[in-house]
Structure 1
Amino acid sequence: MSPVFVMGEALVDEFHDGAVAGGAPFNVARSLSALGAPVRFFSRIGTDDAAGRLVLHSAARFGLAVDDIQRDATRATGRVSVHEDGRGGHRFEIHADAAWDHVEAPAAADAGIVYFGSLAQRAAASRAAIRAAVKRTSGLCFLDLNLRPGTDTPELAAESLMLADWVKLNEDELDRLLGWFEPTLPDLMARFALKHVLVTRGAAGYALYGPGGRLLAGGDGVPQPAYVDSVGAGDAFTAMLLSGLSLGRDLPATLQLANRYAAMICGVRGPLPADPALLIPWREALLALPQESRA
């Protein structure tokens, strides 16, 4: 098994009907833990505030170790106001200068996979810490590109892409990269020496591209008749993919399972189900996948 290091924001998403723990890296780390993949999560929260207690409680419920979650005596745990439009869509208002903006670089350790995002790089301190950790690793570097206001610049995108082997983004984000850097996906991948690009398409499914921009795998969206919201669906897809990579599972089969897992998340409030036991069948399904072919 290849251990996965996840670095970035841990926060609370504040919906009109209550708060849930969130942040893309935290969502990914909790899913990884629940799915049985070896994971360490590096973030920073307030020393003793309600949001931080919610983060720690949620980590414990999903079996995620909190040893690498730093405490900040002067800054509060991050908060995001989720503004829903009544049609299943949402807009995020990410509050500034949170504890996770000041995460400190972890000590060097062996990681098979390092996951990092762009949002956690909005402040100089966390940006430097994340990049230092990524540069030290000899393993696979997986970039989750979230072009949110404040981190949606060509400069930050380019600097992050140069550190990545894999990048996951949505169609809108891909269009922005093609407008900023190169007109075609093969040219974009060549410019930044990317090995794989995963494009998530929401209800339309996903596509995975390999060297030269060649389509390696794709799938249609999975209907969710009991749709609640799409918060965390992309993170769920990423977590299942990383779990499969960590555990050496067949890539096309892992992607298909990730697609179904993301659709399931659209049927719950927030990025993960309230009851972690609901993820047991997904862990069993992952472990039942065939091993990656070495031929």
Structure 2
Amino acid sequence: MAPVLLLGEALVDEFASGPVAGGAPLNVARSLQALGQPALLATRLGQGDAGAALVLQSMRRFGLSEAALQFDAERGTGRVSVIENLGEQGGEHRFEIHDDAAWDHLQAEPLLDLLAAPPRLVYFGSLAQRQPVARASIQQLLDQLGRQGALRYLDLNLRAGSATPELAAACLARADWLKVNEHELARLLHWQGLPGPAPDAAPEAWSAGVRALMQHHGLQRLLLTRGALGAVSFDIAGRVEALALAPRQARVVDTVGAGDGFSAMLLAAWLGGQGVSRALALAVRFAAALCGERGAVPARDGFYDRWQQELSPERFTA
């Protein structure tokens, strides 16, 4: 089974309770691996620093390959200061992403040499492209892998430093599937001069804007996450092809990594041969379950057992 290639940042989230390995590509890679889908994370860490040790420790817990890691002798592993929202259960946190990290200097050539055959799918986002070196490397890789037939999955994940119309357009030009939340989709439509509905509008109300956006950038599928309202998949013509409602959540610990969990389960299910409707439903349920755990990946290994069973071919009809 060919691994999913994940390009971008691996970093340390600095919570008040202590540092935790994080970053969307690492979060997705860990959950993919735990769900039985091999993942290859391509990132750059500080040479021998404490942050790198934390990331490596977490990768080894999940059995992730270290073959695509790069190490920087001049710059440290990326850091994010997390300002936690303690006012209400499950409230969103704020993030201060520190500048000039090792992952800002990811190199394309070692990865091109490593990949004897193109992966079936490559995952990427915008944050890892905030600086020119990594941006050029990631775009070079995406262009080449796209020509070789890899499906390119963009989790736009707009953050400070990467939330610009120019970078978003460059990402969209290299994507086949796009995953966004409602705020990100509204921003993309605004940047392109397209109307967007109210946040709580019916899924079909997004179709006109989605269709124009997809046609402009040549997208094949758009996945829209809507928090407690679930998620929607739009087909190549901008039509609603699948809708999944979020389950009633008895307990919300935090929402950190829920979107990354959504991507991991969606890709694991789809790559495992499940249709879009079932993959979307599983992704929404998995993301909701993660909200009942602390952090982007649960500390207890048994969390993934039931989800591995859900992905078993005996549990579905393709």
Aligned partner letter, 2:164? T
**Match of residue 93 from structure 1:** 96
Identity score, percent: 50
Q: How many Å separate the matches in 2 of 1:209 and 1:191?
A: 15
Which of 94, 103, 106 is the matching residue for 2:106? 103
1:243-292: CA deviation from partner (whole Å, max 9, x where unpaired): 12222222211111111110111111210001233212212211244353
Task: Tell me the distance in 2 between the aligned counterparts of 1:281 and 1:44.
Answer: 33
User: Does structure 2 retain, via aligned residues, the 8 Å contact 1:81–1:94?
Assistant: yes
1:275 to 291, 294, 300: 300
Match for residue 48 of structure 1?
Answer: 48
> Aligned residue for 2:174?
163
Show the counterpart of 2:198.
none
What is the CA distance between 1:110 and its match in structure 2?
Answer: 1.8
Asked if 1:133 corresponds to 2:144, the answer is no
Separation in 2, partners of 1:248, 1:221: 22
What is the TM-score of this pair, normalised by structure 1? 0.95
- Judged with a 3 Å threshold, the aligned counterparts in structure 2 of structure 1 residues 49 and 223 are, in CA distance, closer, same or farther, namely farther
Residue 282 (structure 2) pairs with residue 257 (structure 1): yes
Equivalent of residue 117 in structure 1, options 115, 118, 125: 125
The whole-number CA distance in structure 2 between the counterparts of 1:19 and 1:265 is 19
| Counterpart in the other structure of 1:74 | 74
Query: How does 1:28-67 map onto structure 2 within 5 Å?
Result: 28-67=28-67
* TM-score for both structures, normalised by structure 2: 0.89
> Displacement of 1:2 after TM fit?
4.8
Indicate which of 238, 245, 250 corresponds to 2:270: 245
Counterpart CA distance in 1 for 2:269 and 2:301 is: 19
1:182 CA displacement: 4.6
The higher relative CO (CA closer than 8 Å, separation ≥ 6) is in 1
Contact conserved, 2:245 with 2:281, CA < 8 A, in 1? no
SS at match of 2:136: helix
| 1: CA distance, partners of 2:257 / 2:192 | 28
Q: Residues 61 and 276 of structure 1 are in contact (CA less than 8 Å); yes or no, is this contact kept in structure 2?
A: no
Q: Which runs of 5+ in 1 are unaligned?
A: none
SS of the equivalent of 1:211 reads coil
Secondary structure of the structure 1 residue equivalent to 2:237: helix
Consecutive unaligned residues in structure 2, runs of 5 or more: 195-208
CA contact (8 A) 1:45 1:77 kept: yes
Which deviations, in whole Å up to 9, do the C-alpha atoms of 1:1-44 show, x marking residues without a partner?
45311111001111111221110000001111111112211001
Aligned partner of 2:240 among 215, 230, 251: 215
> Is the 1:250–1:290 Cα contact (8 Å) retained in structure 2?
no
- Aligned AA (2:154): L
Answer whether contact 2:12 2:19 (CA < 8 A) is retained: yes
Q: Which runs of 4 or more aligned residues in structure 1 lie more than 3 Å from their structure 2 counterparts after TM superposition?
A: none
- Rounded Cα–Cα distance in structure 2 between residues aligned with 1:20 and 1:267: 18
Q: Distance in 2 between matches of 1:120 and 1:139?
A: 20
